[in-house]
Structure 1
Amino acid sequence: MINRVSFKIVIWIIFLISFCNNIIGQNKNETSMQLSARQQRIIQISAYTAKGDLENAKLVLNNGLDDGLTINEIKELLVHLYAYCGFPRSIRGLQTFMEVLDERRSKGIIDNIGIEASPIDETESKYERGKAILEKLTGKPQSELKNGYAEFAPIIEIFLKEHLFADIFERDVLTFAERELITISVLASIGGVEPMLRSHFQICLVQGFTPHQLNEFLQIISSVIGNNEIQAAEEVLNDLLSNYKK
């Protein structure tokens, strides 16, 4: 009788140890990713939309809403990415999102609309506002001296300041950090724009992302983009981080 009781006690001890180890393992997995679920969905939605993979975009759009992204935040995300992969991809993303919302409403799911963009203070010119935002993003003053493509085609530099960094980045539905996460997701997905990807990885570091989080970004996006694109993105980030000083 005593042996039988002892045997049951041993079994229970083994069970409890296994159970506790399992819980600890789950907690480690949940906390090992430093990018939040929200940030992970931003990456996935941006990348699938930029690639034109609308079936998977539909899936992660649903996941994004389930994980707390608002309707207006996702709309803003899909609008933002047109600056980096064009109107057609952006509009197809918006059309796909409309389908997702219709399907969810038909199931009785009511999603959070979220905030609208705040009114813009237009005291200064768009160019000066865009320049100021770019300085906040990069953490560096913007030189008045034009060179490279800005000297070759000055109008593109004006468009960048007035439209991208004023019209788009001024809208506070998303933070600067979230907009940069969208940007690197698109640039890594389309490929062939490594100098721009490097610049925006650098901005991500200025905006508070850690090297570990940027490596997580590559891990997440690797399931979306091609081998050539992920290899190029890894090389860009590794080269940047090899010279990075916090």
Structure 2
Amino acid sequence: MNLCNFLKIGVALCFLSFQLNAQNDMTTSRQLTLKQQNIVAIAALTAQGELQTLKPALNAGLQAGLTINEIKEIMVHLYAYCGFPRSIRGLQTLMEVLDERKAKGIEDELGADASPINDERSKYDRGKANLEELVGRQLNEPQTGYAAFAPIIEVFLKEHLFAAIFDRDVLSFTERELVTISVISAIGGAEPMLKSHLAICLNLGLSPQQLIEFVSIIKSTVGKKEAKSAHLVLNEILSSR
């Protein structure tokens, strides 16, 4: 083999290697991370109250690198969408899992706690700003629908959910939205809210492929019925973009 042909083969192999690496990078970018996958499973199972199935999911989440405080924050966040009873039972189940792991000699990482809030704005203004970041637009139009019908719930949403909870930096906005769509999908019957939050996920940078993967996790952890409903809502959003 002459030198010219040898160099051609070398260049071809380098180019093929580059293509394969690029394809691998694209595949990775289209997938939820292992931590994100476990966030979906933990949130959905907690929302449904499937505590015996939640236990192995919690173990898997800890093994995947979720810290104790991150999982605690998942439980705290989801109470706003499915209530204190589910949230507290999830926390109690996490305590049991941690005790069992400690008895086996497993020391799990506690992780960072929420940073202090140093913001002089009112909770309402902080919540409004957070919500505007989530939806990607300013919200200055007059209230309509349920917010006009019962104005106090709009205040509670801004001050408590989108300020007091979303301001806590233990979880990112994207991780909190994954918790939210997991809970809403698991409890069912709230498709308009699911549609809004799936749109927020896209605005935060999650891809359609990642949200399709989210639906597949709902199918494997919660059930086909819930996954079908979520898939229909996702298709509606994607078809309108």
- What range is the shorter-chain TM-score in? 0.7 to 0.9
For the Cα contact (< 8 Å) 2:30–2:207, is it kept in 1? no
Query: Following TM superposition, by how much is the alpha carbon of 1:231 offset from its aligned partner in structure 2, in angstroms?
Result: 1.6
Tell me how far apart the structure 1 counterparts of residues 30 and 58 of structure 2 sit (CA, whole Å): 20
SS at match of 2:182: helix
Counterpart among 11, 32, 35 of residue 35 in structure 1: 32
Tell me how far apart the structure 1 counterparts of residues 153 and 193 of structure 2 sit (CA, whole Å): 15
For the Cα contact (< 8 Å) 1:177–1:207, is it kept in 2? yes
Query: Following TM superposition, by how much is the alpha carbon of 1:33 offset from its aligned partner in structure 2, in angstroms?
Result: 6.5
Consecutive unaligned residues of structure 1, counting only runs of 5 or more, are: 1-26
Alignment of 1:37-116 (within 5 A): 37-116=34-113
Between structure 1 and structure 2, the one with the greater Rg is: 1
Are residues 1:241 and 2:203 paired?
no
Query: Following TM superposition, by how much is the alpha carbon of 1:227 offset from its aligned partner in structure 2, in angstroms?
Result: 3.0
Query: Following TM superposition, by how much is the alpha carbon of 1:223 offset from its aligned partner in structure 2, in angstroms?
Result: 1.3
Which residue pairs with 1:156 in the alignment?
A: 153
Which residue pairs with 2:216 in the alignment?
A: 219
Tell me how far apart the structure 2 counterparts of residues 31 and 167 of structure 1 sit (CA, whole Å): 33
Tell me how far apart the structure 1 counterparts of residues 203 and 235 of structure 2 sit (CA, whole Å): 17
Q: Moved runs in structure 1, 4+ residues, more than 4 A?
A: 30-33
For the Cα contact (< 8 Å) 1:72–1:116, is it kept in 2? yes
TM-score, structure 2 normalization: 0.87
Aligned residues with identical type, % of pairs: 62
Tell me how far apart the structure 1 counterparts of residues 223 and 72 of structure 2 sit (CA, whole Å): 26
**1:66-113, CA deviations, whole angstroms, 9 ceiling, x for partnerless residues?**
110000000001110000111000000000000000011111111100
Aligned length: 217
Tell me how far apart the structure 1 counterparts of residues 149 and 76 of structure 2 sit (CA, whole Å): 28
SS at match of 1:219: helix
Question: Cα–Cα, structure 1 residues 55 and 33, in superposed 2: closer, same or farther, change >3 Å?
Answer: farther
**1:202-241, CA deviations, whole angstroms, 9 ceiling, x for partnerless residues?**
0000111000100010011101223332221111000100
Which residue pairs with 1:136 in the alignment?
A: 133
Which residue pairs with 1:178 in the alignment?
A: 175
Which residue pairs with 2:19 in the alignment?
A: none
Return 233-242 or 31-40, whichever deviates more: 31-40
For the Cα contact (< 8 Å) 2:30–2:209, is it kept in 1? no
Matched letter for residue 66 of structure 1: Q
SS at match of 2:41: helix
For the Cα contact (< 8 Å) 1:44–1:220, is it kept in 2? yes
For the Cα contact (< 8 Å) 1:150–1:156, is it kept in 2? yes
Matched letter for residue 128 of structure 1: D
For the Cα contact (< 8 Å) 1:50–1:186, is it kept in 2? yes
Matched letter for residue 85 of structure 1: C
For the Cα contact (< 8 Å) 1:33–1:216, is it kept in 2? no
